[in-house]
Amino acid sequence: MKLNVVKASEGATWVRLGIRTFWRQPFAMGGLFLMFIIITSLFAFIPRIGNLIAIVFIPAFSLGLMAAARMAHQGQFPMPTVLFTAFRSGVERRNAALRLGLAYVFFFVGVLGLSALIDDGQFASLYLFGGQITPDLLQSSSFESAVWTATLVYIPVSAMFWHAPALVQWHGVPVSKSLFFSLMACLSNWKAFLVYLITWIVLILVVIFAVIFVSGLLDLGEASSLTLTPALILLAAMFFTSSYFSFMACFEPQLDLQA
């Protein structure tokens, strides 16, 4: 395993390859992402700890989506079982995936804990246990500050876990080292990741404005949300597909990503 430093323009290439690969197997990739959403959403029905349990499985399921992207890129059809790749590769890999999930919960709760210091836990409680979002809450300066604090602090946490599932699964890297190498890969290639994120933000905004514009022309009114929601779900699925190419660019120089 070797850490690569790539050009900033590679970030846009990851987006392009993610979109292209998604449309090679749109039903499989879209279906797997919906499975991911449905399974994690079902945990929310467990009182008090449901959302925390769902967070445990996010690294493992993100690996499953990356594995599906690899198969689609190679011209194969990803079956539903690929989503559970982390739990189908032996006891050692399964236990490592669970440890990684628990580490993700630890850091995620830490992020929410920091936000709780600002707004007395309103944002953290809303995220973990649900509740009603009122106009007064949205207009609260402390709540807004808590949201921004959580967002900014989550960025390095996200970098730690961005490559970690694949490093654990495909390279056998211990959990603690996988977090370190993932963070170093993101920091070393921060320009490429900045381009990557900006490209996705622009694409999402373009889609949102396009749907709103067309809905206005057709006078669809509230029905426009029926179009916007699936469009955003498709974009999210493409985003997860593109994450595979960011990993391969950072750690696998022998792969021809342009194929």
pLDDT at 193: 97
> Is position 66 within any domain?
yes
118: phi then psi, degrees, rounded to nearest 5: -95, -40
> Is position 60 within any domain?
yes
DSSP assignment of 106-145, as one string?
A: HHHHHHHHHHHHHHTTHHHHHHHH-----HHHHT-HHHHH
> Is position 240 within any domain?
no
Residue 220 has pLDDT above 70, yes or no: no
Residues 6+ apart with CB under 8 A from 220: 227
> Is position 33 within any domain?
yes
Contact 147, 116 (CB under 8 A): no
Average pLDDT in the 218-222 region?
A: 66
Q: Which amino acid does the sequence have at 87?
A: F
Q: CA 258, CA 255: separation in Å to the nearest integer?
A: 9
Total domains, the chain: 1
Contact 65, 86 (CB under 8 A): no
User: What's the pLDDT tens digit per position in 123-170?
Assistant: 998 888 877 788 888 788 899 999 999 999 999 999 999 999 999 999
DSSP annotation of 189 reads T
Q: CA 222, CA 215: separation in Å to the nearest integer?
A: 9
| Residues spanned by the domain of 151 | 19-188
Q: CA 139, CA 155: separation in Å to the nearest integer?
A: 24
> Is position 226 within any domain?
no
Mean pLDDT of the chain, nearest integer:
90
CA angle 163, 67, 28 (to 5 degrees): 135
> Is position 35 within any domain?
yes
Instruction: Average the pLDDT over each of 56-70, 117-131, 235-249 and give the range with the smallest value.
Output: 117-131
pLDDT at 223: 62
> Is position 12 within any domain?
no
Percentage, residues of the chain above pLDDT 70:
94
CA dist 194 → 14, 59, 152, 203, 206 (Å): 12, 22, 14, 14, 18
Nearest CA to 80 among 95, 65, 98? 65
> Is position 242 within any domain?
no
- Provide the CA 177 distance to its chain's centre, in angstroms: 20
